[in-house]
Every structure is written in structure tokens, then in C-alpha cells.
Amino acid sequence: MASKGAASDTGGVKPMAIGGRMVRERERLFGMSDVERAWRKQFLKDQILAPHEPVHGGYRAYCTRFWIGKGLMTFSLLYATFYYFKYNTNDWTRKGGWRVIKSRRAVVPGEANYPAVSDRTKPSDYAARGFKEQRKTMASKGAASDTGGVKPMAIGGRMVRERERLFGMSDVERAWRKQFLKDQILAPHEPVHVPQYHQELTNPIRRFYQWPLNKLWEKLTPSIGGYRAYCTRFWIGKGLMTFSLLYATFYYFKYNTNDWTRKGGWRVIKSRRAVVPGEANYPAVSDRTKPSDYAARGFKESPI
């Protein structure tokens, strides 16, 4: 570190401004000597870049790269804000979250709806946090019930079990069983994929990252069939997730484990191999001979 001048942008040399004091217009107005004029002239000349400079690309390319990045960040921030206020604001179903309160519009004398009396007439109307509106929706749609509030029943009856059929079946039960088995045969166009149903079950974020594999599923279905196309889509997704997890784990343990340069990170400790009498390298004496060899955390092996 001392030899390479680490933690210093100038390699340990005291930085200075090559423009001198004449870089400021006020200083130049006070007067300039011939030496200062020559210095200023050379300084301005040095600011003119060669045709091949800068070497990292053109100005427009850099601006494009810069604004694309800022645009993506802005879009992500706006989308996250929109998603939060649409799905995660505070209501009667949760404790946390921001609460959105809309003020009543001011009504002055002379307007048609003056005086605007509050629609809150009962104590339960206050601090309801959307409970009444959601309760009406739940009542109309049968929310929190797979059968819309109707008590579920098995249409197969007791004859769906083989042991029950072996006890004997009446003619009515045989007819019921026959019709039940017939109803299990799907029509040629079944099962039916309903996009609206899928949209109700998945949030926008899931639909966003599922879109590429869903398109692959649609392309493969005519050629290899629905089941094989779905299996292909499923295992490609799981494979990508597994690969990403393994790669992230490998990358972390290769570049971000704990050593002498950082406080955090997992520390990887390798145990010494057990050596028993009779082996060639017995007794295996520790290679740590000085106090500084302990808890070095890779300091001695570091290139700097």
C-alpha cells in the first residue's frame, strides 16, 4: 500500500491545479504578466482534444447511455410507487402501509349541493378504512369461498371409492356412476385457458417476468403439444432460477467473502486434514509459527 500509493488519486503526490490562479476571470482582470499570459495560452491550448479523444466513445453515445439508465430508474421508481399505492396502502386488512386520505371538496354558498352534509351518519362510518366497501364486494362475489357461499359437496357420491362399490350398487347408483364417469371426459377444446382468470390470479410483476416463457409456451404448443410445451416452459424457468442461484453463490464466495479488507461477509474456514501415526507427514506441525500468522484473514497473501 505504501509503495503503490493506495487510497490516493495522485499516488501520494500533493495535488495542484495546473490552470493556476488565472483560471478565474477576476484574477485575470487584475492584470497578467508575460509569463502568466504564456501559461494561460498554453493551458487553453492543452484543453483542445485530439481527433481521437475521448477514447471511450462519442458524446451522443454517452448521453444515450446516461439517459437510458436514468429513464429506467425513473420508470422503475414510478411503477413501484404506482404498484404500492394500488395494492399495498393501509386498509382494514393490514396494520402497516401508508394511508391515503382524500379531503372533501369545499362547498360554498350558492352551489347546487350546498350545504354538503357528510355521508357519515353512524360511528361505524368513521375509521372504517375501506371495510364496508370491501364487505359489499365480498358479499356480491362470494369472496373467501370457492363455492360462492354454498356448502360444497362431492358429486361422485360414496361410489367414488372402490370399496363402497364392492358392497353392492343399486340401479340408481349405477346410473349415477355411469353419468359421473361420462362427465369426466373432456371435450376436444378442453381444458380452456381463460386469460382474464390468469390475470386475476397473478400480479403485474409476476406477469412481467413470466411473459417470455409464456410466449415460448405458446410457440411450442402447436408443434409438441400442450403438456410437453408446459413441461418445457416449467423446467426452463426452474433451470434458469437454479443456475442464477448457483452462479450468485459462486460469485459471492469467490469475490465477496470476509477478509482483511472488509468487515462484513461470510468467513470461509478450512479445517486441517487429520493425520494419524503411520502416515508419511506425521506429525503434521502447524505452519503458523508467529502470533501474526493467526487471524490474518488473507493479509499476508494480498498483492498489496
Residue 151 has pLDDT above 50, yes or no: yes
DSSP notation for 56-90: T--HHHHHHHHHHHHHHHHHHHHHHHHHHHHHSS-
Domain boundaries, the chain: 205-258
Cell numbers placing 180: 359421473
Residue 73's CB is within 10 A of a number of other CB atoms, namely: 10
Residue with grid cell 506429525, as numbered in its chain: 283
Stretch 91-111: mean pLDDT, rounded? 78
Question: Tens digits of per-residue pLDDT, 185-208?
Answer: 888 887 787 888 888 888 999 999
Read off φ and ψ for residue 110, nearest 5 degrees: 110, -20
Q: Is-contact 63 57, C-beta < 8 A?
A: no
Residue 107's CB is within 10 A of a number of other CB atoms, namely: 13
Lowest mean pLDDT among 25-34, 54-63, 67-76, 113-122: 54-63
Question: Tens digits of per-residue pLDDT, 219-278?
Answer: 999 999 888 999 999 999 999 999 999 999 999 998 888 888 888 888 888 888 888 888
Residue 6 has pLDDT above 60, yes or no: no
User: How much is the pLDDT for 256?
Assistant: 87
Lowest mean pLDDT among 42-46, 97-101, 141-145: 141-145
Cell numbers placing 202: 397473478
